[in-house]
A = this chain, B = another copy of it.
Amino acid sequence: MTKKPARAEKSAPRTRIQREKREEILQAGLTVFAAEGFRGATLDRIAAEAGLSKPNLLYYYPSKEAIHETLLERLLATWLDPLRALDPAGDPVEEILAYVGRKLDMSRDFPRESRLFANEILRGAPRIEPVLKGDLKSLVDTKSKVIRDWIAAGRIAPVDPYHLIFSIWALTQHYADFDVQVRAVLDAADPYPGAEAFLDGLYRRLLSP
């Protein structure tokens, strides 16, 4: 029996080079997928971005889909963390404001991830619909209950918890996804300081009982 040449596909990377190259490919893929969408991205562009030849890239990942899938999995693993961190035991207004702040930080620090997600949702979420209806929905249900309790206790003003959460998603992700538009209107200034102040004021006013 001859040992197969063991392509770097499946399973955990075994060598240092595999670990490094795999990571570089994911970074390149994230850049290209975020900018062009799944169908708009080409293996040649991803390979070029990663400084590899196309066959070499396919040595580390078996297909374009595999790269995309890995990126989405990795994203979803942390995408909901800011909401998970909403603490039922904390001060309601400050907890929600802190959540807004974390989400806005993510838009500023990880705009490619935000656009990757936006692209996927815009296309009807073909690859992550189960997650939306599963983990995402149950997390939002849980946190909505927390918010409803805060309202019932008179600790924040009465608002629909679901639409409150949607509003936080919309407002914070807008600065990453519609960045070009925001910068065009603001004449290329960094929008984030202003956005933070605005959102802080908005939710403070909306929620204070």
| Chain A contact surface mostly | helix
Q: Within 8 Å of chain B (Cβ to Cβ): is A133?
A: yes
**In the assembly, what is the distance between CA of A92 and CA of B88, in Å?**
37
Pick from B132, B167, B173, B181: contact of A198, CB below 8 A: B167
A136 touches B (CB below 8 Å): yes
Q: Is the CB of B170 within 8 A of A174?
A: yes
A158 to B, closest residue via Cβ: B201
Residues of B within 8 A of A171 (CB): 167, 170-171
Q: Which of B40, B121, B181, B197 sits near A178, CB closer than 8 Å?
A: B121
Most buried by B among A121, A124, A129: A121
Give the residues in chain B near A39, CB-CB below 8 Å.
Answer: 36-37, 39-40
Q: Is A113 an interface residue (CB 8 A)?
A: no
- Copies of this chain, tallied across the complex: 2
A34-84 contacts to B, CB under 8 A, are 35-40
Chain B residues in 8 Å Cβ range of A191: 163
Question: Which A164-184 residues have a C-beta within 8 angstroms of B?
Answer: 164, 166-167, 169-171, 173-175, 177-178, 180-182, 184
Known: A36-B39, A38-B40, A115-B122. 16 other contacts (CB 8 A): A37-B123, A39-B40, A118-B118, A118-B122, A121-B177, A121-B180, A137-B187, A160-B197, A160-B198, A162-B194, A163-B199, A166-B195, A167-B198, A169-B178, A170-B178, A202-B206
A-B pairs, top 6 by smallest CB distance, nearest first, are A170-B174, A39-B40, A163-B198, A132-B184, A170-B170, A133-B184
A interface residue numbers (CB < 8 A to B): 35-40, 115, 118-119, 121-125, 129, 132-133, 136-137, 140, 157, 159-160, 162-164, 166-167, 169-171, 173-175, 177-178, 180-182, 184-187, 191, 194-195, 197-199, 201-202, 205-206
